[in-house]
C-alpha cells in the first residue's frame, strides 16, 4: 500500500470513529425512548388486565365494579363496563379478554328490558361502543346490537319541541324528562350526533340522522347564547334555553363544543354551520372565560354567571386542549394550538400540584397578586373519579407535536393511579381526597370510562404506531369510541 492509501484509510477510520462518538447519545436516546414506549404500553396492558380481573371476578355482566366491597353496582343493568371496554381490548390487543366479552354480548346482552336509561349516557357508551367495535372488527354482531339499541332510543325525540327527553325506557318504548323538570341538559342533547349520524349511514335509514340534526339546527338558531357560548339547559316543551346567563366549558356544556368540531370532521368538512359555530364559540371562550393565575400565569377557562367570572374549572374542561389541537391540525387558526399548549400545562399542573399526583374534580384558581398558590381545592371537590380528559388531551398533543414531555406527564398519572387507586384484589377505585396521600379515601367504584377512555388514551399516548386509530381517518366520540370519518362521495 502506498503512503497516500494508508493515510486515506487512517483518515476514514478516524472520521467514522468521530461520527460514532457524536451520534452515540442520539442513538442511545432513541433506543431509550423506544424501550420506554414499549414498557409503557405493557404497563397499560397490565393495568387493564388488573381492572378486568376485578370486573370479571365481582361484577361480570353488570354495569360497574365496586372493587373494595368486591361486588357490583347497577345503573342501566346492561353490562356497561363490558361494552364500554370492548374496543379498548381490541386496540390493546387483548384477544382472550375480547373473546370472552364478545361471547357475553352474543349470549347475554338484551335491550328488551323494562329499564330507564339516560339517552346521552347510553348513546355515547353503548351505541358508540358497539359501532366502533363493529368498525374495528367487522363483526356484524356489534352492528346488529347497535341497530337494536339505536331504534329503542328513538322515543326520546317525541317531544313537543323535538329536543329529546333525558330518559328512555328501552323495553316499553316510552320517554320522559327527569321527575323534577322538563329541561334537558344542553351537552346531552348535542352530543349524541356523531353516533346517530353514523347509525343512519350504516343502516341507510335517515330517521336517526334527521332526529339529531333537527336538534343541531334548533340550537344553532336559538337566542340566549353569548358570543357562541351556550347556556346549560334547554326546555323540551318550548325548545328554548332556560336558566340562562351561566356559561361554562365544564359539566352540562362541555361536549357541545367538542361535537361541533367533530361532526364537521366526520362529515368531511362540508357542514359550514358547524364550523362557524365552533369558531365563534372558541372566540367566545377567549373573550369571556380565559384568565391567568397568580403567581405562575397558568391559563384557565373560568365560568361566567350573570356577568361575574368565577375562577373555577372542572377537570372535564381538560378535553379542550386536545380538541383545540385537533382543530388546528385540520387547518383551523394557529392560535388555537397556542391556547391548547397553555391549557395543557394547566391541566398537567392540576395533577402535579396535588399530593397524590391526581387531579381534583374541580380546581379553583388564584387571581390575586398575593403569595398564594395558583391552585386551590375546596373540600367538596377533592375527589378523583379516574376521569380521562387530561390523558385524552395528552394523547392529541403528543400525536401532533411529538414532544415527549406529554408522555412523561401521562406516565406520572398512570403511576399515581397505580399507587393510590389500585385495589389489590382487582380493579381501580375512585377516591375522595387527592390531597391526602396517606388516606386518599377510596370510594369503592370503578367507572366504566376508566376502561372505555382513560386506559385507551394512555395506551394510544404511549404507542409508537401513528396509524393505530389515525386521527385523519377516525373521530373519537366523547366516550373515546373511534368512528370513521366518512369517505368523500364527490
Ligand atoms: C365520560 O362519560 C365522557 O367523557 C363524557 O363526555 C364526560 N364524562 C365522562 C368522563 O369523564
Query: Is the pTM of the predicted complex or chain greater than 0.85?
Result: yes
Q: Measuring from atom 11 of ligand 1, which residue has the nearest CA?
A: 387
Mean pLDDT of all residues belonging to the chain? 95
**What stretch of H or E contains 353?**
none
What is the CB < 6 Å shell around ligand 1?
255, 316, 387-388, 449, 453, 478-479
**Residue 64 contacts by C-beta under 8 Å, 6 or more apart in sequence?**
72, 73, 74, 75, 80, 81, 445, 446, 447, 448
Asked if residue 1 is part of any domain, the answer here is no
Per the listing, cell 357542514 goes with 271
Question: What is the per-residue pLDDT for 489?
Answer: 77
Q: How many whole angstroms from 478 Cα to the centroid of ligand 1?
A: 6
Q: Distance (Å, rounded) from C-alpha 290 to C-alpha 303?
A: 9
Report which ligand 1 atom has the smallest distance to the Cα of 389: 11
The CA R_g of the chain, rounded to the nearest whole Å, is: 24
> What's the total number of domains in the chain?
1
Q: Which of 195, 389, 447, 479 is catalytic?
A: 389
Q: Measuring from atom 1 of ligand 1, which residue has the nearest CA?
A: 479
For 2, other C-beta atoms within 10 Å of its C-beta total 7
Q: What angle do CA 259, 264, 268 make, to 5 degrees?
A: 140
Question: What is the per-residue pLDDT for 24?
Answer: 45
DSSP string covering 152-220: HHGGGG-STTSPPPSEEETTTTEEE--TT-SEEEHHHHTSSHHHHHHHHHHHT-THHHHHHHHHHHHHH
49-98 pLDDT, tens digit each: 999 999 999 999 999 999 999 999 999 999 999 999 999 999 999 999 99
| Grid cell listed for 346 | 394547566
Residue 361 is among the residues annotated as catalytic for this protein:
yes
229-246 pLDDT, tens digit each: 999 999 999 999 999 999
Asked if residue 103 is part of any domain, the answer here is yes
Q: How many whole angstroms from 384 Cα to the centroid of ligand 1?
A: 13
Question: What is the per-residue pLDDT for 82?
Answer: 99
Is residue 264 over pLDDT 60? yes
Asked if residue 290 is part of any domain, the answer here is yes
H helices of 226-302, in order, are 254-266, 272-288
Q: How many whole angstroms from 449 Cα to the centroid of ligand 1?
A: 7
Report which ligand 1 atom has the smallest distance to the Cα of 385: 11
Residue 223 is among the residues annotated as catalytic for this protein:
no
For 374, other C-beta atoms within 10 Å of its C-beta total 20
Q: How many whole angstroms from 5 Cα to the centroid of ligand 1?
A: 71
Is residue 8 over pLDDT 70? no
**Residue 378 contacts by C-beta under 8 Å, 6 or more apart in sequence?**
362, 364
Q: Distance (Å, rounded) from C-alpha 45 to C-alpha 65?
A: 19
Question: Which pLDDT band holds residue 291 (cuts at 50, 70, 90)?
Answer: very high
Question: Which pLDDT band holds residue 25 (cuts at 50, 70, 90)?
Answer: very low
Question: Which pLDDT band holds residue 372 (cuts at 50, 70, 90)?
Answer: confident
Q: Which of 183, 314, 361, 374 is catalytic?
A: 361
Is residue 207 over pLDDT 90? yes
Report the percent of the chain where pLDDT is more than 70: 93
Report which ligand 1 atom has the smallest distance to the Cα of 121: 2
Q: Distance (Å, rounded) from C-alpha 377 to C-alpha 328?
A: 32
Binding-site annotation, residues for Ca(2+): 478
Q: Is the distance from CB of 211 to CB of 166 less than 8 angstroms?
A: no
| Grid cell listed for 138 | 367487522
Residue 195 is among the residues annotated as catalytic for this protein:
no
Q: Is the distance from CB of 326 to CB of 279 less than 8 angstroms?
A: no
Q: Which residues pair with 51 in a beta bridge?
A: none
Question: What is the per-residue pLDDT for 27?
Answer: 44
Phi and psi angles of residue 238, each rounded to the nearest 5 degrees, phi first = -85, -25
Report which ligand 1 atom has the smallest distance to the Cα of 187: 6
Phi and psi angles of residue 462, each rounded to the nearest 5 degrees, phi first = -90, -15
Q: Is 222 helix (H, G, I), strand (E, B) or coil?
A: coil
- The residue whose CB lies within 8 Å of the most ligand 1 atoms, and thus the one to mutate among 80, 127, 478, is 478
Q: Measuring from atom 2 of ligand 1, which residue has the nearest CA?
A: 479
Q: How many whole angstroms from 137 Cα to the centroid of ligand 1?
A: 24
139-149 pLDDT, tens digit each: 999 999 999 99
User: What is the extent of the structural domain holding 203?
Assistant: 50-484
Question: Which pLDDT band holds residue 370 (cuts at 50, 70, 90)?
Answer: confident
Question: Which pLDDT band holds residue 38 (cuts at 50, 70, 90)?
Answer: confident
The candidate with the shortest Cα–Cα distance to 131, out of 192, 74, 217, is: 192
Question: Which pLDDT band holds residue 297 (cuts at 50, 70, 90)?
Answer: very high
Asked if residue 34 is part of any domain, the answer here is no
Query: CATH number for the domain including 454?
Result: 1.50.10.10
Asked if residue 285 is part of any domain, the answer here is yes
Q: How many whole angstroms from 249 Cα to the centroid of ligand 1?
A: 13
For 207, other C-beta atoms within 10 Å of its C-beta total 14
Question: Which pLDDT band holds residue 419 (cuts at 50, 70, 90)?
Answer: very high
Asked if residue 227 is part of any domain, the answer here is yes
Residue 254 is among the residues annotated as catalytic for this protein:
yes
- The residue whose CB lies within 8 Å of the most ligand 1 atoms, and thus the one to mutate among 195, 323, 453, is 453
Asked if residue 57 is part of any domain, the answer here is yes
Asked if residue 27 is part of any domain, the answer here is no
106-138 pLDDT, tens digit each: 999 999 999 999 999 999 999 999 999 999 999
Question: What is the per-residue pLDDT for 490?
Answer: 52
Amino acid at each position: 500500500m502506498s503512503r497516500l492509501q494508508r493515510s486515506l484509510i487512517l483518515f476514514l477510520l478516524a472520521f467514522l470513529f468521530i461520527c460514532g462518538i457524536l451520534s452515540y447519545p442520539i442513538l442511545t436516546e432513541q433506543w431509550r425512548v423506544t424501550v420506554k414506549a414499549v414498557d409503557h404500553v405493557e404497563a397499560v396492558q397490565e393495568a387493564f388486565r388488573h381492572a378486568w380481573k376485578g370486573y370479571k371476578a365481582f361484577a361480570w355482566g353488570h354495569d360497574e365494579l365496586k372493587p373494595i366491597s368486591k361486588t357490583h353496582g347497577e345503573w342501566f343493568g346492561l353490562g356497561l363496563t363490558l361494552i364500554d371496554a370492548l374496543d379498548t381490548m381490541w386496540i390493546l390487543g387483548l384477544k382472550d379478554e375480547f373473546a370472552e366479552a364478545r361471547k357475553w354480548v352474543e349470549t347475554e346482552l338484551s335491550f328488551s328490558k323494562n329499564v330507564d336509561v339516560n339517552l346521552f349516557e347510553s348513546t355515547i357508551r353503548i351505541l358508540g361502543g358497539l359501532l366502533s367495535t363493529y368498525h374495528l372488527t367487522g363483526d356484524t354482531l356489534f352492528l346488529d346490537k347497535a341497530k337494536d339499541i339505536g331504534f329503542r332510543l328513538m322515543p326520546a325525540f317525541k317531544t313537543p319541541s323535538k329536543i329529546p327527553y333525558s330518559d328512555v325506557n328501552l323495553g316499553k318504548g316510552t320517554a320522559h324528562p327527569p321527575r323534577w323538570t322538563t329541561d334537558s341538559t344542553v351537552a346531552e342533547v348535542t352530543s349524541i350526533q356523531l353516533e346517530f349520524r353514523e347509525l343512519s349511514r350504516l343502516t341507510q335509514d335517515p330517521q336517526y340522522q334527521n332526529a339529531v340534526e333537527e336538534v343541531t339546527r334548533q340550537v344553532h338558531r336559538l337566542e340566549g347564547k353569548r358570543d357562541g357560548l351556550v347556556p346549560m339547559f334547554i326546555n323540551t316543551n318550548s325548545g328554548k334555553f332556560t336558566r340562562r346567563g351561566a356559561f361554562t366549558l365544564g359539566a352540562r356544556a362541555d361536549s357541545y363544543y367538542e361535537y361541533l368540531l367533530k361532526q364537521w370532521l366526520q362529515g368531511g368538512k362540508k357542514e359550514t354551520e358547524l364550523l362557524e359555530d365552533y369558531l365563534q364559540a372558541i372566540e367566545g371562550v377567549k373573550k369571556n372565560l380565559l384568565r391567568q393565575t397568580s403567581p405562575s400565569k397558568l391559563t384557565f377557562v373560568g365560568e361566567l354567571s350573570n356577568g361575574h367570572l368565577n375562577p373555577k374549572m372542572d377537570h372535564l374542561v381538560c378535553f379542550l386542549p386536545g380538541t383545540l389541537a385537533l382543530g388546528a391540525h385540520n387547518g383551523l387558526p394557529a392560535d388555537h394550538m397556542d391556547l391548547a399548549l397553555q391549557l395543557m400545562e394547566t391541566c398537567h399542573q392540576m395533577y402535579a400540584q396535588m399530593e397524590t399526583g391526581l387531579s381534583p374534580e374541580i380546581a379553583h384558581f388564584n387571581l390575586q397578586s398575593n403569595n398564594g398558590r395558583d391552585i386551590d381545592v375546596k373540600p367538596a371537590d377533592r375527589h378523583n373519579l379516574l376521569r380521562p380528559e387530561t390523558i385524552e388531551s395528552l394523547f392529541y398533543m403528543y400525536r401532533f407535536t411529538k414532544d415527549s414531555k406529554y408522555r412523561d406527564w401521562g406516565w406520572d398519572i398512570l403511576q399515581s393511579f397505580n399507587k393510590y387507586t389500585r385495589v389489590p384484589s382487582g380493579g381501580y377505585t375512585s377516591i375522595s381526597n387527592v390531597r391526602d396521600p396517606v388516606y386518599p379515601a377510596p370510594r369503592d367504584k370503578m367507572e366504566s370510562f376508566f376502561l372505555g377512555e382513560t386506559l385507551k388514551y394512555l395506551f394510544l399516548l404511549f404507542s409508537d404506531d401513528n396509524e393505530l386509530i389515525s386521527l385523519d381517518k377516525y373521530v373519537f366520540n366523547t366516550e373515546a369510541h373511534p368512528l370513521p370519518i366518512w369517505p368523500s362521495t364527490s
